[in-house]
Amino acid sequence: MAVGLLDSGQPLVSKYDLALVDLDGVVRRGTNAIEYASDSLNKAKELGLHQFFVTNNASITPEKVAAQLNGLGVSATPDEVMSAALAGAALLQTKLKPGDKVLVVGGNGLVEACEKAGFDVIRSNVTGAADQNPKAVIMGYAPDIAWPDLAEAAYAVNNGAWFVATNLDKSLPTARGYAPGNGALVGAVQAATGATPVSDGKPSPAMYQLCVARAGKSKPLVIGDRLDTDLGGARAGGFPGLLVLTGVSSARDAVLAPPEYRPDYIGSDLRTIFDTHTAPKESPDNWWLSGSRGARVVGDKLELDGEGPSGIDAVRAACAAVWNATDSGIKVDPTSIPEFVI
């Protein structure tokens, strides 16, 4: 089934009534604000766009997330935060009952979420934690997780505990670059046990579904920077998705994206929510046109018009050309797809 960019004759801020906004790579990079993010989100809220901040980070509480956002100039309350810790605790509730023991590998945000869900929490930094026979192990990233924590998790899983991960992100963005994420830590326990964890973190659509239910809105828009998690979750849940090019996934990544990761809209940063989005159109001579830019696939190679790989319209045109070719059964040569300058 062909999957292409959508057309919106009205600005996204007025077309949708709920923005499901990722944090790292969209609003912030490490502890630094991303340019235009706070002004765009605050203006959108003033215009009536309800917002949920949806993060695979399970280490801190919604209160601290909201405080961090306000420190970056973004108006946010704890009730507008949906974390992988909350989703993980909700997942545990589908099989466990209140009072069941859960071994928690992670930060205070995950501990609090599990306690509020009614579980008897065992911290992984307690010697012999696995010997208390927890019904489940739940893992979420925290910067102080060490070998003893992973060992207790492995002991418990090998003893039959249900293995749950808040997310499976192998890396996370920091101010210095990309560091190992929860998926890398989970991978160590998985290697030691042979057990495959379940997860309701992105790209599962579970967090998006929880947000929509809590907000009571009917027209949500997912906004993210990662194709494999943010936009993959949007596709999995049937939600329209906007990729902003301020984080992990590049314009070239978008052009190469398989159908299950493709965004419905692409913009350079969060200011694009105030724009209309015209879907690229195919011309009689097989050029895909977006604004003043054009792209086409000849044989198995992408060709751009004479202005080269610069500007968001070139990205959109290239996406349309390559996606159309791919969905028609053509294996496009990835070496023909350049890095774009936005």
- The reply to whether 51 and 112 lie within a common domain is no
Q: What is the mean pLDDT of the chain?
A: 96
- Amino acid identity at 20: L
In tens, the pLDDT along 11-56 reads 999 999 999 999 989 999 888 999 999 999 999 999 999 999 999 9
pLDDT tens-place string over residues 51-106: 999 999 898 899 999 999 999 999 999 999 999 999 999 999 999 999 999 999 99
Query: Is 246 found in the same domain as 186?
Result: no
State pLDDT tens for residues 216-256. Answer: 999 999 999 999 999 999 999 999 999 999 999 999 999 99
- The string of pLDDT tens digits covering residues 254-290 is 999 999 999 999 999 999 999 999 999 999 999 999 9
d(CA 208, CA 187): 25
* Same domain? 187 vs 214: no
Judge if 121 and 194 occupy the same domain: yes
Q: Answer yes or no: do 89 and 195 share one domain.
A: yes
Structural domain span for residue 266? 12-56+203-274
In a domain, 256, yes or no: yes
Considering the domain boundaries, does residue 73 fall inside one? no
Do 185 and 208 sit in the same domain of this protein? no
The C-alpha atoms of residue 128 and residue 156 are separated, in whole angstroms, by 10
HEC readout, the chain:
CCCCCCCECCCHHHHCCEEEECCECCCEECCEECCCHHHHHHHHHHCCCEEEEEECCCCCCHHHHHHHHHHCCCCCCHHHEEEHHHHHHHHHCCCCCCCCEEEEECCHHHHHHHHHCCCEEEECCCCCHHHHCCCEEEECCCCCCCHHHHHHHHHHHHCCCEEEECCCCCEEEECCEEEECHHHHHHHHHHHHCCCCEECCCCCCHHHHHHHHHHCCCCEEEEECCHHHHHHHHHHHCCCEEEECCCCCCHHHHHCCCHHHCCCEEECCHHHHHCCECCCEECCCCCEEECCEEEEEECCEEEECCCCCECHHHHHHHHHHHHHHHHCCCCCCHHHCCCCEC
Q: Are residues 118 and 170 in the same domain?
A: yes
Tell me: pLDDT of 2 over 80.
no
Q: Which of 244, 274, 304 is the last residue before a domain boundary?
A: 274
Q: Judging by beta carbons within 10 Å of its beta carbon (0-12, 13-18, 19+), is residue 262 exposed, middle or buried? A: buried
Query: What value, to the nearest 5°, has the Cα angle with vertex 30 and ends 27 and 36?
Result: 30
Neighbour count for residue 71 (Cβ, 10 Å) = 11
pLDDT band at 213 (very low <50, low <70, confident <90, very high): very high
89/194 same-domain check: yes
Q: Are residues 316 and 227 part of one domain?
A: no
Residue 300 pLDDT > 70, yes or no? yes
Provide the annotated active-site residues. Answer: 22, 24
Is the pLDDT assigned to residue 184 strictly greater than 90? yes
Q: Is the confidence at residue 1, as pLDDT, over 60?
A: no
Q: Is residue 129 in a domain?
A: yes
Residue 318 maps to a domain: yes
Domain boundary among 226, 242, 274: 274
Number of domains in the chain: 3
As given in the structure block, the two tokens for residue 279 are 């879907």
- Statement to judge: residues 270 and 296 lie in one domain: no
Looking at residue 156, which CATH number applies to its domain? Answer: 3.40.50.1000
On whether both 172 and 89 belong to a single domain, the answer is yes
Same domain, 94 and 21: no
| Separation between Cα atoms, residue 331 and residue 325, nearest integer Å | 8
Last residue of a domain, one of 248, 274, 300: 274
Residue 74 lies inside a defined structural domain of this protein: no
